[in-house]
Structure formats: C-alpha cells, structure tokens
Amino acid sequence: EECKQIMARQKSNSQSDSHDDEVSPPPPNPVVKARRRRGGVSAEVYTEEDAVSYVRK
C-alpha cells in the first residue's frame, strides 16, 4: 500500500513538473546573462598596447 502512495506522489509530482516546465522557461535567461557578464570582467588591467601585441597560443 505504501508503494502505491509513493507512486501516486511521484506521478502527481511529474505532472506538476511538466506543468511547471511550461511556465518556467523564461528564468534561465538571467543565468546566461550573468555568465556572460562574469566572463567579460578581468582582474588584470589590460592596455591597448597589450591587446595589439597579443598572440594566440
């Protein structure tokens, strides 16, 4: 009997999850923006001269 209750809970959870998926796609966008921003900031000060003389490895 307990197994049936657990299965019922899992089914109801998966149904609510699939419903949440329809509502939730917008939130991932801010995460992507945060990643881009984080990558654009450097701890080192980089001069234009350094940028011109930079050679890729």
The model's pLDDT over 32-52, given as tens digits with 9 standing for 90+, comes to 555 555 666 667 777 888 888
Domain ranges of the chain: 2-53
The model's pLDDT over 17-36, given as tens digits with 9 standing for 90+, comes to 555 555 555 665 555 555 55
pTM: 0.22
Instruction: Return d(Cα 42, Cα 54) in angstroms, integer.
Output: 15
- CB-facing half-sphere around the CA of 3: CA atoms within 13 A: 0
Comparing CA positions, the residue from 54, 31, 30 lying closest to residue 42 is 54
